[in-house]
Structure 1
Amino acid sequence: MIGLVLTEKIEQEVNILIVDDVIANLVVLTEMIRKSGYVARPVTSVKQAIQAMEVTLPQLILLDISMPDMDGFEWCERLKKDATTRDIPIIFISALNSTEDKIRGFKLGAVDFISKPFEHEEVSLRISTHLKIHRMQQELEMYNQKLQKLVKEQMEKIATEERNLIYAMARMCEARDKGRANHIENIGKNSRLLAMSLQFSGLFEDEISQDYIDTIELAAALHDIGKIFIPDNILQKRGKLTIEEEKVLESHAELGAKNLSEAYAQSEYNDFLKMAIDIAKFHHEKFDGTGYPMGLRETEIPLSARIVAVVNMYDNLLKCYEKEGDGAHEEALRRMKLEANRSLDPEILEVFLKVQRQLKR
């Protein structure tokens, strides 16, 4: 039904621009086009043709090659470079009938070539054929646009559902790790802010793209996903942990990475999961090599994990100093500065300190 309505609308509006400096040719072609049921718009020069197109664009152009102000080849080339006119079918009309002329015309974007003198049936059939092709292209373009819109809406819906699922998983850990409300939201937003700031700083512009920035915001939320496997008596213990209990707690890094890796094995082209694995496993590594689980140092630690290590320490320190009210932020920054070249990458920390007023707390 939509295609039928569109077809009827196009048929009603079909007008054909005829550009030829020979009046006799214009008269003949105008009469042929009118008898074929279309609106003929004859002009004698490219200048007049341009003025006519400023009023209404034609559905097809019959264009002479040899004209005084600008030849047909040159104007055809200009029309095909303009986004507004490049899809209008152009048929060359000319007494020039050499193979070279035809090849040149087709290379410039013309769809057909009609030689003088004109035969009514030939002209009518060629115009009808190219108008049908043009109409089908318009309909196809319309359907493609609708399809692209639907696909985009579905992809956005899927992305939103995946995001909600990921945050739901992360909140399971947050609910068991008492006293850390809004931790995952803070880590995600601050990781995004820091990654963006690092890109602008020029330090990591080759590594950090817009996709990287979008991905780290979501992947950072799963940094502690391995805590799902840690017993409550250790995760929620109020007093100091024993050495054995510390070892169990530290295992959350490898446990989280292991479970994310099982999902990644089914989807190896998922950049989100790859980054989430790096963050979950290495966000407790330290710049000086004294962290866990593998004792990596400096740039051996994935960039995403080094970024999350900074924002994670900040959020944890805010919790430690929350009794100090407004002073918690300043005290957290003071302690973090002491960790440059120890726990934290000094270059990342330097950029972090520059944007600290924009941090989500």
Structure 2
Amino acid sequence: MKSCDLDGGNLSRTLLLVDDAPENLQVLGELLSDAGYRVKVANCGQAALHYARRDPIPDLVLLDVMMPDVDGYEVFERLRADPVTRKIPVIFLTGLDEAAQVAHGLGLGAADYITKPIQPAVVLARVRAQIDAKRARDWLCDQNSFLETEVARRMAENDLIQHLTIRALAHLAEMRDPETGNHILRTEAYVRLLANGLQDHPRFRDSLDAHAIRLVILSAPLHDIGKVGIPDHILRKPGALTAAEWSVMRTHAELGAAAIERAEQDIEEPPEFLSVAKDIARSHHERWDGAGYPDGLAGDRIPVCARLMALADVFDALVSPRVYKKAFPLEQARVMIAAQRGRHFDPDVTDAFIEGFDAFAEIVERHTGID
């Protein structure tokens, strides 16, 4: 086998010349070096594969078809199979009487071909055309990468603004009810646990995919937004409510849903989470057995997102102190929730709560007493 050698320079565009004939390498190398290209040369296929991966990565390969160790077609296929070299354009070098080889090379995906003996003007024109085309592709790739990065940045920024706006609205309602503490943080975390625990369950597989779970978690803080419309003498009453006051308090579910619906109507293309937030706000006090409010929905007629919030909201009320009661111990709260399986709560949602109870307890401990 002939020895394999390499030559190079320090110019801006790099060409790799591959030919087993030294005279061809010399003629092409001098022509292209004089034209301002950095030139690498290899006189066998193995060397070509080696040098194609070394910095600077070639911008173009001029590849002889007929070589003794590894022919040009195999070199080409191996270049295409390597992630480092697969995008380098290749011009095949072929004899005048090798029309079938030209067609085969172009069929493999070669960028062009040059016939031997070479004609300097043709070589320079075709090399320039491929270099210009690669420069344009590289520029488009850089632009696309920039645009993708910018779109991702702006989407993340919009998501953050949306999340902060939701939190601000939710805290507005929470500020009017001084006993709720970190209720928003805890219930959002409970809902996340329940949704993730149920996403592979046959009953919930279609309704709790990753996108749906994201919307539920995003919307959860707005479940009590309707409390903004409840008079202070009821919402902030330091004790149990009368029957009449309780009737007013219950309207917060409808008030919250109506407020979100008005927001939807004000926007030409409302964000998807508002529909989920509206369902949560209206229906998180519905019960599995139909004895809840405001619509007396039962079973699967209750939106899934509201079923998750129903359990999260009640559990947090049980483990949180109020002026009219102490916080129930965690284990007692677990027993009380379990007792409402199939009555207040969806049976499978209850099972997910029981199975993941340790994580629920950790959330309570982490966020209790931190305002």
In structure 1, what residue type is equivalent to 2:36? G
Determine if contact 2:33/2:39 at 8 Å carries over to the other structure: yes
Paired residues in the alignment total 351
Identity across matched positions, percent? 36
| CA–CA distance in structure 1, aligned partners of residues 208 and 51 of structure 2 | 50
Structure 1 residue aligned with 2:293:
292
Structure 2 residue aligned with 1:55:
54
Determine if contact 1:278/1:304 at 8 Å carries over to the other structure: yes
Question: 1:106-148: CA deviations, max 9, x gaps?
Answer: 4433222222221101111211222122223223333333333
Q: CA deviation at 1:100?
A: 6.3
Write out aligned runs for 1:143-292 (5 A). 143-199=143-199, 204-265=204-265, 266=267, 268=269, 270-292=271-293
| CA–CA distance in structure 2, aligned partners of residues 71 and 87 of structure 1 | 20
Determine if contact 2:53/2:84 at 8 Å carries over to the other structure: no
Question: 1:36-76: CA deviations, max 9, x gaps?
Answer: 12232222322111122243321110112333444433432
| CA–CA distance in structure 2, aligned partners of residues 71 and 206 of structure 1 | 54
Q: CA deviation at 1:202?
A: 6.4
Structure (1/2) with the larger helix percentage: 1
Residues 1:27 and 2:18 are matched in the alignment: no
Determine if contact 1:60/1:88 at 8 Å carries over to the other structure: yes
Structure 2 residue aligned with 1:117:
117
Determine if contact 2:179/2:322 at 8 Å carries over to the other structure: no
> Structure 1 residues 320 and 205, CA, compared in 2 at 3 Å: closer, same or farther?
same
Residues 1:44 and 2:43 are matched in the alignment: yes
> Structure 1 residues 111 and 172, CA, compared in 2 at 3 Å: closer, same or farther?
same
Q: Tell me, which stretches of 5 or more residues in structure 2 are unaligned?
A: 1-8, 365-371
| CA–CA distance in structure 1, aligned partners of residues 134 and 335 of structure 2 | 68
Q: CA deviation at 1:295?
A: 1.8
144-153 or 346-355: which moved more? 144-153
> Structure 1 residues 218 and 305, CA, compared in 2 at 3 Å: closer, same or farther?
same
SS at match of 1:55: coil
Q: CA deviation at 1:31?
A: 2.4
Q: CA deviation at 1:228?
A: 1.3
Q: CA deviation at 1:288?
A: 1.3
Determine if contact 1:285/1:294 at 8 Å carries over to the other structure: yes
| CA–CA distance in structure 1, aligned partners of residues 48 and 151 of structure 2 | 40
In structure 2, what residue type is equivalent to 1:167? R
58-67 or 233-242: which moved more? 233-242
Structure 1 residue aligned with 2:6:
none
| CA–CA distance in structure 2, aligned partners of residues 106 and 252 of structure 1 | 71
Structure 2 residue aligned with 1:142:
142
> Structure 1 residues 102 and 300, CA, compared in 2 at 3 Å: closer, same or farther?
farther
135-144 or 330-339: which moved more? 135-144
| CA–CA distance in structure 2, aligned partners of residues 110 and 269 of structure 1 | 49
> Structure 1 residues 166 and 107, CA, compared in 2 at 3 Å: closer, same or farther?
farther
SS at match of 2:337: helix
| CA–CA distance in structure 1, aligned partners of residues 270 and 48 of structure 2 | 53
Write out aligned runs for 1:37-116 (5 A). 37-56=36-55, 57-95=57-95, 101-102=101-102, 104-116=104-116
Q: CA deviation at 1:28?
A: 2.6
37-46 or 234-243: which moved more? 234-243
Structure 1 residue aligned with 2:368:
none
Q: CA deviation at 1:269?
A: 6.2
Determine if contact 1:80/1:109 at 8 Å carries over to the other structure: no
> Alignment RMSD, CA only?
2.6
Question: 1:158-178: CA deviations, max 9, x gaps?
Answer: 222221111111111111123
TM-score normalised by structure 2 residue count: 0.85
Q: Tell me, which stretches of 5 or more residues in structure 1 are unaligned?
A: 1-9
In structure 1, what residue type is equivalent to 2:318? L
Q: CA deviation at 1:334?
A: 1.1
Determine if contact 1:321/1:332 at 8 Å carries over to the other structure: no
Residues 1:306 and 2:307 are matched in the alignment: yes
| CA–CA distance in structure 2, aligned partners of residues 234 and 242 of structure 1 | 9
Question: 1:196-243: CA deviations, max 9, x gaps?
Answer: 122256663333233333322221000011111122222223444344
SS at match of 2:113: strand
| CA–CA distance in structure 2, aligned partners of residues 11 and 228 of structure 1 | 71
Structure 1 residue aligned with 2:15:
16
TM-score normalised by structure 1 residue count: 0.87
> Structure 1 residues 83 and 332, CA, compared in 2 at 3 Å: closer, same or farther?
same
95-104 or 182-191: which moved more? 95-104
Structure 2 residue aligned with 1:356:
357
Structure 2 residue aligned with 1:127:
127
